[in-house]
Structures are given as structure tokens and as C-alpha cells.
Structure 1
Amino acid sequence: MTHFFKDKLGEGGYGSVFKGQLPNGGAMVAVKILNENKGNGDDFINEMASISKTFHVNLVTYLGYCVDGGRRALIYEFMPRGSLEKYIYFNKSVQEQSRLGLTVLYNIAIGLQYLHGGCPTRIIHLDIKPSNILVGHDYIPKISDFGLAKLCAASKSTVSLEGTRGTPGYMAPELQSGGVSRKADVYSYGKMLLEMAGGRKIFDVETEIYYPPWIYDRLVSNENLELYGITTPEEEQTARKMIVVGLWCVQTDPAVRPQMSEVVQMLKGSLETLPIPSRPASI
């Protein structure tokens, strides 16, 4: 299926992903091989349990699994354009960035809204970031990599965690405490939204600028936002709306952050109706 694992698509803490093809000239697929030295198989069971309960246009489609001794693999649809990470930073073409703008972020929000309340069992993803958003031929984004996800019963507002989960830079601050809600995904989504609006990473190693408070100060003082790839007043208005919504999402207190259903409505609405939230905490 994977032609001896020759075409590697990516790698993460829980395994590597290879390009493959179903037998007899079938469809192209992505095969995630989980690391044998990571845990006792809980990551495999966790991801399979999470993704197998879902079906949505903005979630990567799970096709099946394979177990051979200690080796475990998950089979997903193949996303030919790779991850969102390839498109959102300033050194990429303006054409690609404009194509992957507000519509893409809106669709990702719709996918998260489904995970948090629309699927049979609520799911908290816990690792939302650009590299875990895959892009298809038609530029429809799909949330992927459910290895860290937690199932959350409808009767519960929070779930307990053993150990820290997520990616530094996108992790909600409450993940350090061991109990989280769906608002942790809102926080990560907000970080990604801010990156996409500004065309820059949340933390610039060279300048040591932490983007959320930096862009907040410029927004409230009406300074130049230094947005990359913005060529028209309409595009600037859209970017400003993305920034305001993103700043709401990255509030330190989870209770202040909007639900994903509210984020969807904020993205659909006009900039004039959005109040500016409190200044986010510095790094």
C-alpha cells in the first residue's frame, strides 16, 4: 500500500505519515504508522475511538486501520495540498494566502463546532495548529490528527488530563492544571487565526515579539498593523475582523473566550459589531 514507505508526508510525536494507494489501483490514501515505542497502544485506541465517531466535510475522513503484531496504522483520505502551515506565512504567494483566508478559517470553525457539539460524542481535539489542518484540491480545510483528543460526555463541561497535551505556542494555559474544557480548542484556534491574519508566527524568534499583545496594542491605538499580503481596504477590514476574533479566543480566562458556535457567528458578522476584548497576557 505504501510502496515500502518511500513517500513520507510528515512526522509527529506519535508516528509518521506516508502516502499510499489502495489495492488494485485504488484511491490515494495517507497511512499513519504509530511509533511502537510510544505508550502501550493507548494513542492508537484513542485516535481510532475519536475519529471513527465523526463524519464532517471539515474533518479528514477515516478509512480504516491495520494491526500487524506490534505495528499499528490508521488509514485516512489523502489531502494533496498538504497542511495549512505551507500557506499562511508572509513568504508564500499572495495568491495562495488570499485563497486560504477567511473562508478557510470559517470552515475550520465549523469543523470544531461539530466536534464540540454536533457529533455523537463531544470531542476536544487538544492539538489545533496549522500543521494539523490539511488542505484538499478544492482548498477545503480538514482537521486531522486526533492522537491527543479526549472524548467528553454531554453531561460534563470539563475532562481530566494525565500529563500535558498539545503543542507549545498553541496550548491553552489551563492545560497545565490537568482539567480542560472545549475552550482549550478555542484558544488554539485563536492563535492560528492571529497567525493567518498577520501572515506571521505567534512568536518571532529573531525579534522576540509575541504577536497577540503586540497586535492588540497596534489595533487599539489605530497604528499600522503591518499585515502581509493586504492590498485593498476590504482585505484590511477582513484581517482586522480576524484579529479581533482571534484576540477574543486567546483570552487567558476560559470563561471569557467564546464557544466555537459564537466564533462562527463572529466570523459571519461585521467588524463594526465586534467589541475589542481585554489585552491578552504577555508570554
Structure 2
Amino acid sequence: MLTPKRYSHYDIKKMTTSFKEKLGQGGFGDVYKGKLPDGRLVAVKVLSKLNGNGEEFINEVASIGRTSHVNIVALLGYCFERSKRALIYEFMPNGSLDKFIYDRHLMQGATHLLWQNLYHIAIGIARGLEYLHFGCNTRILHLDIKPHNILLDEDFNPKISDFGLSRLCTRKESIVSMLEARGTIGFIAPEVFCRNFGGVSHKSDVYSYGMMILEMVGGRKNVDVRVNRISEIYFPDWVYKHLEKDRDLGLNGIMTAEEDEKARKMVLVSLWCIQTDPSQRPSIGKVLEMLEGSISAIEVPPKPLLFSPPRSSTESTTIL
């Protein structure tokens, strides 16, 4: 594991050619394309919004700086110069997952994300989470798993990024204390914003993972006001009803029996992941076992208690 290198703000300006090429925008700042002195391309996140003493910056350096895994984006360096703060990551040529999954049948280049690609991405993200939850000396809870925070390399291998909301806890610790909700509406586990559902733990990431995989499968936001029928607005509810009645899911792009099996497997696993009670959700290791095993071994999960949110919840918003 390589220790991230510290750079000055002058270095950051130089490697980004004075912030010439903007790659994207996140909750805490803008991301620019850059190049290290050795020629490696990088993505430089310049933090503009700092909570208190810059908690999200400290979280990111402390958590991702401890990691080394093929499905976790590598932090190569950082800048900490008074109020000037930046994070330098390996460059991911295909950007974030979100631009490939929504309305993918309308997009140019959609052929890149065949069902085998989606299945491969789902497994890669699960492996990355398993490493964070059980493979590090200090357990890392990401707490903001969503398509925007999954980056894709040149071969569409997924890497988990953006650890600004993460929490570190000991391997033995199963529940973490939190004074405020954190995450993105539509992906936040119920216990994160209401303690009556249980404590925040690695199962909270499992919930977010399940919601994300459902969006990958549906090729749409889980809550979609563009559809004509009210019964189809909330995709997890719609897909559960179709599974209950053993109907064809009618998912876009499925051509073979093997693709149909992969899609159904992803749906079943996702519905287990979004169970309202954290104790009913599988660990991420069990998720991998189900995804890589036989579909006949996966039971249809019970219907979660919290379904069909009000229409006012349709916008994804980050809660700090």
C-alpha cells in the first residue's frame, strides 16, 4: 500500500493546467483532469465546501488512504494548505456509472453495458464493499454508495470512490453512533435517518448497494415520475409484484436465458439487501455468495415494510 503524497496548491494548479478541464461536480467540490510529473493521468477533486474543520476531507484521506483493492479507487495524493484542499485520484477513463445506466437504451455506446457488464460491475462493487467491511484492519463504512460514486476504468471494472461521508470503526464494532443523517435520498438505509429501525452498521451500506443494483437493472431511477401509471413510479415495488406473480420482468436488452438469469439474480439479491430490518439483510459476503451461486438457491425475500415513498421524495439530495 502506497502512502498518498502531499502536494502544494501550486502543484495542483500545475498538474491541472490551472483547472483547465473539468470532469464533473460532486457534493463537496469540482473534479478536474490532471497529469502527474511522471505522466500518469489523475482526477483532482478540489474541495469547496468544508464542514467545520473539514471533516469530509479528513474522512477521505483517513479512510481511502488505508485501502488497496482493485475495486477501490486509489488515492495518490492530497493538498492541505490552509483553506486550499484537494484530493488526487487515479484517473478513470469511463467516468461514473450513473451516465451508463439511466435510459441506457437511448445512449450512444450503450452496447458497452450488456447484461454481462452490469453483472460484472455488481460483483466488483460487492467485492470492494466486502474489503471495506471485513478486509481492512479498521472497518470502513462508506455511507454514500450510489451510481455517481462508482467509477469505471477502461475495461468497465468498477471502483468505489468518494469517501467524504465514510466512518471508521473497529473490526469488532458492529454499530456506529451518528449525530446526523448522511448519504443521498433514495439510497439511505432507514436506520440512518430513524434509529427506531436499528443502528447504523455495515448493513446500511448493503441497503444502499441494493438500491443501486435495482437502478442498474431497471435502467432508471427507482422513483420515476415520468412513467404514466402510479403503480410503476416506484421500481422496487413494481419489480417485487412481478416476481410475486412470476411475471416476465420485461427488462430492456435481455436476449438470452443466461442474461435473464443474471438479471433475476440481481433483482432477488437487491430485494434482500433493501429489507427494512437490518438484521434481515445479508452481509455483503453473503451477497457475493448469492450472486455467484445458483439462482435456485435464492429465495424470494419478504416484502420490505417501507415501500412506495411519497412523490415529494423523487429528487436525490445529499444529506450532510
Aligned residue identity for 1:132: N
Equivalents in 2 of 1:104, 1:36: separation in Å? 30
State which drifts further: 75-84 or 178-187.
Answer: 178-187
Partner of residue 17, structure 1: 31
1:155 shift after superposition: 2.1
Matches within 5 A, 1:64-83: 64-83=77-96
Aligned-residue offset at 1:103: 1.1
Confirm or deny that 1:124 pairs with 2:141.
Answer: yes
8 Å Cα contact 1:108-1:141 kept in structure 2: yes
1:187–1:251 CA contact under 8 A, matched in 2: yes
**Alpha-carbon distance, 1:84 to partner:** 0.8
Provide Cα deviations, 1:14-67, integer angstroms capped at 9, x if missing partner: 1111111112x6211011111155432121111100111111000000111112
1:221 to 229, 236, 245: 245
Partner of 1:59: 72
- 1:69-114, Cα deviation, whole Å (9 max, x unpaired): 2110111100010011121233335522215221111011000000
Report the 3-state secondary structure (helix = DSSP H, G, I; strand = E; otherwise coil) of the residue aligned with 2:66: coil
Three-state SS of the structure 1 residue aligned to 2:280 is coil
RMSD: 1.4
Aligned partners of 2:246 and 2:113: how far apart in 1? 24
Matches within 5 A, 1:88-127: 88-89=101-102, 90=104, 91-92=106-107, 93-98=109-114, 100-127=117-144
- What TM-score, normalized to structure 2? 0.85
- Provide the residue aligned with 1:200 in structure 2: 220
Q: Secondary structure at the match of 1:212?
A: helix
1:1-283 matches, within 5 Å, as: 1-23=15-37, 26-89=39-102, 90=104, 91-92=106-107, 93-98=109-114, 100-177=117-194, 179-207=199-227, 209-280=233-304, 281-282=306-307, 283=309
What is the letter of the counterpart of residue 289 of structure 2? Q
What code does the residue aligned with 2:117 have? L
Aligned CA distance change for structure 1 residues 123 and 250 (closer, same or farther; 3 Å)? same
CA distance in 1, matches of 2:101, 2:253: 10
The runs of 5 or more residues in structure 2 that have no matched partner are: 1-14, 310-320
SS in 2 for 1:159: coil
Q: Percent identity, aligned pairs only?
A: 54
Secondary structure of 1:162's match? coil
